[in-house]
Amino acid sequence: MDNVTIGLALVAGLLSFISPCVLPLVPAYIGYMGGRLTHQVSRQQAAGAPPAISATMRLQMLMHGAAFVSGFTFVFVLIGLLTTALSSVAGQYVGAFTEILGRVGGIVIIFFGLQFMGLMPRLFRWLRSKDRAPILDSRLFSLCAAIAASALIYWALLGELVLTLPVIAALLLGMYMGGAFAQPARFWLALMDRLQGALYSDTRADIGGGREGLLGSAFMGMVFSAGWTPCIGPLLGTILTVAATAGATSGDITQGMLLLGAYSIGLGIPFLITAMLMDGARGLLRRLQRHMRLIELFSGCLMILIGLLVASGRLQSLSQTFSRGEFADFTFRVEECGLGIFEGDLHLQHLGDCLAGVLLPVAINQSASLHFTSEAQMRQLLFHAEAGEQIDVEARGLAGGELELAIALSAPDDTVLARANTADSRQVDDKLYPMLALELAQDGLYRLSLRAEGLTGDARIRVKVREALPIQAASNPPAQTNNLISDLSALVSEIGAIGLEEGKRAPAFSTTTLDGQQLSLADLRGKVTLLNFWGTWCGPCRREMPEFQRAYDEWTGRGFEILAIAYNDSEAAMSEFRDEFELSFPMALDETGAINDLYAIQTRPSSYLLGKDGVILARHFGVLTQAQLDDLLAAALADG
């Protein structure tokens, strides 16, 4: 999917809303917006505002939703650009930036929760009472408050002294200049007056429909986006790669910004609709006026819980949990099926089978990994072909079983054009060709049906155009491929520079493989190396790993190596994964995440292709298809 348009990115974002990894964001968003709505209704009642629900109030709720989406979009686009197009400048610091934003934002969300519960005004009144005057007027109280605030700053800024010391120094200087140690009571009473004034201003905005509270909603969007791990479907992976390629080659990141912005807006549309629907609860809350205090307490507690999840990083962990296994596979199918219908490559009648995983839309020459079980013996591939094309069907991984195949033109009559069985196939190396030189008479969608006989496990099927030469027979590498440096000679002048852009030397590291072997990046010099960042919990990784093994078997004799680096994983899970897919290339566990941080990895799978001299030839985010990998290797190993 190389030609990504603004419309496609918008649709992909819209489809991503129903993906499992977005689920943790939805209750967090509803909790914040619901807490704000409850707080607003409660303050309106306290101020004696009329109960009517005006168009202004509806608009205000929509504006808060839009502010949330704007904050979300800003950080999502910023992180996407930093980790791809601008990775050599700031990519290594993205992880620290998002963690700091999450910790600081979590603290602010907890404060909002206390405010929504009505506890902050009560705390201020308690401190202002005459019995508490000696406490506020104590220098020891100011000193304890300064120590507590410094400790909180130290934790929020990850203990980085370069960041922590200036902030703590500014805090102490402000307290000193404000009289916290000379006239403590005056300082703390003035501080409480300013805080109450700010909260009162926000309350008046809630009642009158002002815009003062919109910055808070925008900040909440920024915080939630920093605590979220997106599901990397085929289109988002392509968008990130487009941003990386454009930034590395031309320095123009405009296209990447527009595509990421369109994706974020598409993802934000359902959040805006949710805000409009929640506004309908205003009348219900007024009818529950007798229980408003209980509702305030509940919404405030929910906000505090969300703040704790964000500050501790658990919201991101929940997002990663929903990015695993079947959840991730479903996410991948949602995007593939939705975009297939949007582009006309999939009919609406196929949507149910597509979402269920029975039918998979593929491109010509794209390999598909199909999983068969004793209960699921039927799979279908849907592809678009042009009139006059001759196609071959290639099958691999059929040990212990057979496949019956049938190709039909995907039309109302579903006329079968050809049938075959892998038992009668022509074999070349470990590949079976049950169909050869099948000529297609007209343009349109074709469906390849596959029924397993005695086969359980994964099989790999590829429908390819017969005119396409095998990669070994290509006399010259492609003149230009996606994500590939077209003129390698231009790299010579920068060969000593270390960075994450194409043309820079990859940062050095050492690790221990799953087999206990000590391995450094320097040990791989002299080989074209694919660094793949993955996880056993990553659904899209399951799709590309079989292709990596195929490429490893095919190209390793010409100087190709793969190092797959897992994170947030265990050696036991990795060993089980390796055995399941019969992988033989080196794999390593990045226990501390240091290598992932070194390469600014925020999404998985992500891949770096290094030349024999250790220079980065290409970067790719999302699933790396067989055709893309073969093109990259053909160019990189052309001199071998």
Q: Tell me the DSSP string of 125-145.
A: HHHHSGGGHHHHT-HHHHHHH
Q: Which residues does residue 367 pair with via DSSP β-bridges, in sequence order? A: 462
Position 286 pLDDT exceeds 90: no
Q: What is the pLDDT of residue 288?
A: 64
571-581 and 539-555 helices cross at what angle (nearest 10)? 60
For the chain, give the mean pLDDT. 79
Q: What is the pLDDT of residue 608?
A: 93
First to last CA, the chain: 30
Residues 6+ apart with CB under 8 A from 432: 394, 395, 396, 398, 422, 425, 426
The answer to whether the peptide bond before residue 605 is cis (omega within 30 degrees of 0) is yes
pLDDT band per the 50, 70, 90 thresholds, residue 113: confident
Q: What is the pLDDT of residue 512?
A: 94
- E strand spans, 203-263: none
Position 208 pLDDT exceeds 60: no
pLDDT band per the 50, 70, 90 thresholds, residue 204: very low
Share of the chain above pLDDT 90, in %: 16
Q: What is the pLDDT of residue 43?
A: 65
- The tally of CA atoms less than 13 A away on the side-chain side of residue 184 is 17
Rounded to whole angstroms, the Cα distance separating 313 from 265 reads 25
Burial (0-12, 13-18, 19+ Cβ within 10 Å), 128 = middle
Q: What is the pLDDT of residue 54?
A: 57
Confirm if 619 and 241 have CB atoms less than 8 A apart. Answer: yes
Assigned token pair, 68? 């949330």
Q: What is the pLDDT of residue 327?
A: 62
Match 């390999």 to its residue by tokens: 367
| Nearest one of 314, 318, 332, 316 to 231, comparing CA atoms | 332
pLDDT tens digits along 6-15: 888 888 888 8
pLDDT tens digits along 329-346: 676 777 778 877 877 777
Rounded to whole angstroms, the Cα distance separating 483 from 619 reads 7
Confirm if 255 and 242 have CB atoms less than 8 A apart. Answer: yes
Q: Which residues does residue 420 pair with via DSSP β-bridges, in sequence order? A: 405
Q: Which residues does residue 419 pair with via DSSP β-bridges, in sequence order? A: 406
CA dist 376 to 92, 110, 356, 419, 452, Å?
Answer: 44, 48, 11, 20, 9
0.75 exceeded by pTM: no
Distance, CA of 296 to chain centre: 34
Question: Which residue type sits at 513?
Answer: T
Question: Range with the lowest mean pLDDT among 47-51, 148-152, 514-518, 582-586?
Answer: 47-51
Higher pLDDT: 547 or 149? It is 149
Rounded to whole angstroms, the Cα distance separating 451 from 465 reads 23
CA dist 221 to 28, 61, 217, 573, Å?
Answer: 10, 15, 6, 34
| Nearest one of 335, 416, 344 to 380, comparing CA atoms | 416
Q: What is the pLDDT of residue 239?
A: 77
Q: What is the dihedral of CA 258, 261, 263, 265, to 10 degrees?
A: -130
Position 496 pLDDT exceeds 90: no
SS3 of 52-112: the string is CCCHHHHHHHHHHHHHHHHHHHHHHHHHHHHHCCCHHHHHHHHHHHHHHHHHHHHHHHHHH
Position 293 pLDDT exceeds 60: yes
**Which DSSP letter does residue 380 get?**
E
| Nearest one of 32, 27, 33 to 304, comparing CA atoms | 32
Residues 6+ apart with CB under 8 A from 241: 84, 482, 483, 619, 620, 621, 622
The sign one gets for the Cα dihedral 582, 586, 589, 595 is: negative
Contacts by residues 334-337 (CB-CB < 8 Å, ≥ 24 positions apart): 334/15, 334/16, 334/18, 334/19, 334/233, 335/12, 335/15, 335/16, 335/19, 335/233, 335/234, 335/235, 335/236, 336/233, 336/234, 336/360, 336/361, 337/361
Confirm if 559 and 637 have CB atoms less than 8 A apart. Answer: yes
pLDDT average, residue stretch 524-553? 87
pLDDT average, residue stretch 565-578? 90
**φ and ψ at 572, to 5 degrees?**
-65, -45
Rounded to whole angstroms, the Cα distance separating 603 from 601 reads 6
| Nearest one of 4, 28, 432 to 220, comparing CA atoms | 28
Q: What is the pLDDT of residue 49?
A: 54
| Nearest one of 483, 452, 450 to 383, comparing CA atoms | 450
Higher pLDDT: 455 or 593? It is 593
Match 């922590």 to its residue by tokens: 164
- CA Rg, the chain, in Å? 29
pLDDT band per the 50, 70, 90 thresholds, residue 561: very high
CA dist 232 to 149, 200, 235, Å?
Answer: 38, 43, 8
Q: What is the pLDDT of residue 140?
A: 93
Assigned token pair, 40? 């607003």
The sign one gets for the Cα dihedral 586, 591, 593, 598 is: negative
**Mapping DSSP to helix (H, G, I), strand (E, B) and coil, where does residue 463 land?**
strand
